Amino acid sequence: MPEISRFFGITVQMYYADHEPPHFHARYSGQKALIAIESPAVLRGSLSPRALGLVMEWAARHRAELMENWIRTRNEIQLRPIAPLE
């Protein structure tokens, strides 16, 4: 699964040809969550409140880039890295 960003110990990834709705995978310290892109929300799994807050802030800032990468996954095109949260 391609990594598209990493910040504060959080890894953000997307699978090629993954199921709908558009989403990404976030991992932190053994925790995993699937996060919807269009209106950021946890679809499955969980993260600590602090990590989830950071992921949601990052996702809100990079929604357009996330959607672009989602489209790229559907067409099996190499994903573009997205700037980390600083």
Q: Can you give the pLDDT of all 86 residues of the chain as single tens digits? A: 799 999 999 999 999 989 999 999 999 999 999 999 998 899 999 999 999 999 999 999 999 999 999 999 999 999 999 999 98
67, two tokens: 């959607």
Write down the pLDDT at residue 1. Answer: 77
Write down the pLDDT at residue 82. Answer: 98
Q: What is the pTM of this model?
A: 0.94
CA-to-CA separations, 19 to 29, 40, 66, 70, in angstroms, rounded:
25, 16, 15, 11
C-alpha angle 7-48-85 in degrees, rounded to nearest 5 = 20
Write down the pLDDT at residue 40. Answer: 86
